[in-house]
Amino acid sequence: MSTDEAVARVQAGTAQIMSYLGEMGVDPKLMELALSYDKSDMRYLSASEMTDLRVTNVAVSQSSVDTSQVPTRPDPLPALDANAKQQLESAAVTFIKGLIEHHGDNAEMALAEVQTSYAPTVNYYGKLTDLNAIIEDKRTYFQRWPERGYNVRDNSVMVTCANDRCMVSGTYDWIVRSLPRHKQAKGVANFSYTIAIGTNPKIIAETSKVQR
């Protein structure tokens, strides 16, 4: 299997899982949590986490469950019509693609984009991180590599929107250069962002992994 085919299969599988989570009324943040762990790790959810993420629909404080009062599946959330859903997904892709490619701007412009695009606290590479720490992390990277270029592969992008979240994933080509250090690097990376939808969309989760 080629790398592109493997990535496409993973993205298709992720989209199906996100669609199922939305259908069952589960918070998409469950997927963010799952993706933050390596395949060799195992993470058990506490009862309160399962309630918060809507994996269960029984209050944690209940000592026993009357199954006659528990629906076999949650009531469906109001669904967007096909046109509205397509517009939302398109807007989410445009938002993320613009953010990634703006990382190639000069450092101050790129950091300003981060400032306005991220939530105050973000699941940043598997760890809850405040915005100031994210800005400093990216500032260090931008200073290390003053020249940067990013190109999102349009045919690799997958987007799934459920409830008030959109997850956008895909692949981009990157190249970075530092003339003072006489260094250059380039490659391909996978990315995944989760956006909280609203008047001002904000990134609430980010991760990426260099393929080569």
Q: What is the pLDDT of residue 4?
A: 66
Give the number of other CB atoms < 10 A from CB of residue 26.
21
Write out pLDDT tens, residues 121-173.
999 999 999 999 999 999 999 999 999 999 999 999 999 988 788 999 999 99
Structure confidence by residue, pLDDT tens digits, 193-204: 999 987 889 999
Task: Catalogue all structural domains in the chain, each as residue range(s) with its CATH number.
Answer: 3-210 (3.10.450.50)
- DSSP string computed for 47-106: HHHHHHTTS--S-TT-SS--GGGS-SSPPPPPPPPHHHHHHHHHHHHHHHHHHHHHTTS-
Q: Which residues, 6 or more positions from 149, have their beta carbon under 8 angstroms from its beta carbon? A: 104, 174, 175, 176
pTM, to two decimals: 0.64
